[in-house]
Amino acid sequence: MKNKIYNLNEQSIEKFVNDSHLCIYCLDAKTKKIIFANPSFYKLLGYLPEEGENLTLYDFINHSKESIDSFIDLVIQTKQRNTGEREWKSKEGKIIDMFVNVSHGDHKDVDIIYVSAQNISERKQVERELQKSQHFLNESQRVSKIGSYITDLKSGTWKGSDELKRIFGLTAPESYTVECWQSIIHPEHKKMLLEYLELEVIGKKQRFDKEYKIINQKTQEELWVHGIGELEFDNNDNPIKMVGTIQDITERKQSQQEIIETENKFKSVVKSAKDSIVLANEKGEIIFWNHCAEKIFGYTENEVYGKPLTILMPEKFRQAHQEGFKNHVLTNQDTDKDNTMELFGLKKNGKEFPIELSLSHWKNGNEKFYCGIIRDISERKNAENQQRKHFKKLSDIAFLHSHHVRAPIASILGLIELINFENPEDPKNIEIFYHLKKTSLMCDSVIKEIIEKTTEIEELSKIF
């Protein structure tokens, strides 16, 4: 009866082993040959059962011979069960991740190793994908300087990603207290931020969205961060968690400050400039207007902002300006050089006046902008008219010199040649002396006129 029960149990065990999805086999510890293996073992590795007689551990364990021998020796010496992860190699060379359970047994003075193993390739693949995803997440957070966090509002603790710890300058602990976070906030922003959190976020159950300053606990550096958080609620609509991100925006803040400082310097320079400076967009609309422009045109900046440039020019020039401006904006390649030209401007009171315009342009992305430096040249034009008069008087003097002075002098010289010095009483000498006096008076009159014109020229020269 006992023998019968023994046979039944042996058959049940054999059926269990053969039907198991686990890979079960045993081997001779000395030869490393497989003594027995169940169908799952052969199916997984791709061997036929008849090939098992010549199969050894070295054929399918994907580790070095030295490593395999060392492990088997350890099992025999300790006679303890060992578990762990190993790599197997199928007949086709495919690597399979296995979790193995190894134990030792004696059979007629022969060391037998019993092994049951489970295929964990899918689990390992999932783990690798998770690790890869976590790596990508960590890298993306590092590059974007965005850390993530989870806050337990009941316990008053929070956990943060590695990047968040770097931003805050924290190390070691997995979780931190809310008081720890409060100590990181810059003193200038602490009161504002805590009131915002209590009254707006928790009190009104709103999304946390705020920029504030912190002090990095490692470097003591002041940093700007942008915090975002979403509340999670229990069944009674009470907030229990906040999940969100914190981004280091220090560089952006510094850039914004530099831009503001640059703009302030620009405005300070152009507003104090002695020339009129007008900026326009590619629609031809005025977007900047300095104090000097107000003086010469009569418009305030508010009056011209957003208005077309054509309000600054006489009606007769507007159509040509609009056509030329439109063509310049539509030109993909800028062939027109920035230049200086003389035109006419139009004051607010309707008075036309001469101007000198220095025009330049630049691109910001795909949009063009234009800068005009305008000078009122009315005084210069008046000076040019005076200069022309100056030149006219010089021309008159030259004419007098070449004709009205040289002619009398030539006449005087000729008369002197006619004087009879041998006979002073000669009646002809009297007539010659008469003509000499008359011609000399004429020459004196011309010289006085030259002196008067020269004096006028000297006065004009003082203007220039």
* Whole-number average pLDDT of the chain: 84
Work out the percent of the chain whose per-residue pLDDT is above 70.
87
Sign of CA dihedral 200, 206, 209, 214: positive
| 201 and 229 Cβ atoms separated by less than 8 Å | yes
- 1: CB partners within 8 A, 6+ apart: none
Q: For residue 188, what are its two tokens? A: 């200038």
CATH number, domain 128-254 = 3.30.450.20
pLDDT value for 248: 94
Counting every residue written for the chain, the total comes to 464
d(Cα 115, Cα 34) in Å, to the nearest integer?
A: 11
377-406: average pLDDT: 69
Q: Give the ranges where 150-272 is alpha helix by DSSP (H).
A: 162-168, 178-184, 187-195, 203-204, 250-272
**Domain limits of the chain?**
2-119, 128-254, 273-376, 384-463
| 99 and 85 Cβ atoms separated by less than 8 Å | yes
Name the band, by pLDDT with cuts 50, 70 and 90, for residue 292. confident
Name the band, by pLDDT with cuts 50, 70 and 90, for residue 5. very low
- Closest alpha carbon to 293 in 272, 268, 314: 272
Secondary-structure class of domain 2-119 per CATH: alpha beta
Torsions phi, psi of 306, nearest 5? 85, -5
Sheet with strand 276-281: strands edge to edge = 286-289, 276-281, 367-376, 352-364, 340-346
d(Cα 321, Cα 422) in Å, to the nearest integer?
A: 85
| 380 and 433 Cβ atoms separated by less than 8 Å | no
pLDDT tops 50 at residue 6: no
pLDDT value for 70: 93
Q: What's the pTM value of the predicted model, to 2 decimals?
A: 0.49
pLDDT tops 50 at residue 231: yes
Torsions phi, psi of 233, nearest 5? -120, 155
At 112, the amino acid letter reads I
pLDDT value for 372: 85
pLDDT value for 461: 55
454 alpha-carbon distance from chain centroid: 67
- Least confident window among 121-125, 235-239, 264-268: 264-268
Work out the percent of the chain whose per-residue pLDDT is above 90.
42
151-163: average pLDDT: 92
249-268: average pLDDT: 82
- Closest alpha carbon to 307 in 331, 278, 284: 284
pLDDT tops 80 at residue 333: no
pLDDT tops 70 at residue 460: no
pLDDT tops 90 at residue 88: yes
| 119 and 98 Cβ atoms separated by less than 8 Å | yes
pLDDT value for 463: 53
For 249-282, give one letter per residue: b (16+ CB within 10 A) or e. bbeebeeeeeeeeeeeeeeeebeeeebbbbebbb
pLDDT value for 297: 92
256 alpha-carbon distance from chain centroid: 11
pLDDT tops 60 at residue 279: yes
Cβ count within 10 A of residue 124: 16
pLDDT value for 364: 79
Task: Please give the C-alpha separations between residue 210 and each of 128, 164, 226, in angstroms, as whole numbers.
Answer: 36, 16, 6
d(Cα 300, Cα 30) in Å, to the nearest integer?
A: 103
| 298 and 276 Cβ atoms separated by less than 8 Å | no
d(Cα 182, Cα 104) in Å, to the nearest integer?
A: 58
Q: Looking at residue 235, what DSSP letter applies? A: T
Report which of residues 248 and 263 the model is more confident about.
248
Name the band, by pLDDT with cuts 50, 70 and 90, for residue 3. very low
Q: For residue 136, what are its two tokens? A: 């990508």
Name the band, by pLDDT with cuts 50, 70 and 90, for residue 403. low
- Closest alpha carbon to 181 in 205, 160, 202: 160
pLDDT tops 50 at residue 77: yes
Angle between helical axes of 427-463 and 406-418 (0-180°, round to 10): 160
- Least confident window among 76-90, 200-214, 259-273, 323-337: 323-337
User: For domain 273-376, which architecture applies?
Assistant: 2-Layer Sandwich (3.30)
pLDDT value for 358: 85
d(Cα 450, Cα 400) in Å, to the nearest integer?
A: 7
pLDDT value for 4: 44
d(Cα 433, Cα 426) in Å, to the nearest integer?
A: 11
Number of H helices, E strands in the chain: 16, 16
121-144: average pLDDT: 82
d(Cα 26, Cα 331) in Å, to the nearest integer?
A: 84
- Closest alpha carbon to 40 in 94, 121, 116: 116
pLDDT tops 90 at residue 65: yes
3-state secondary structure 336-388: CCCCEEEEEEECCCCCEEEEEEEEEEEEECCEEEEEEEEEECHHHHHHHHHHH
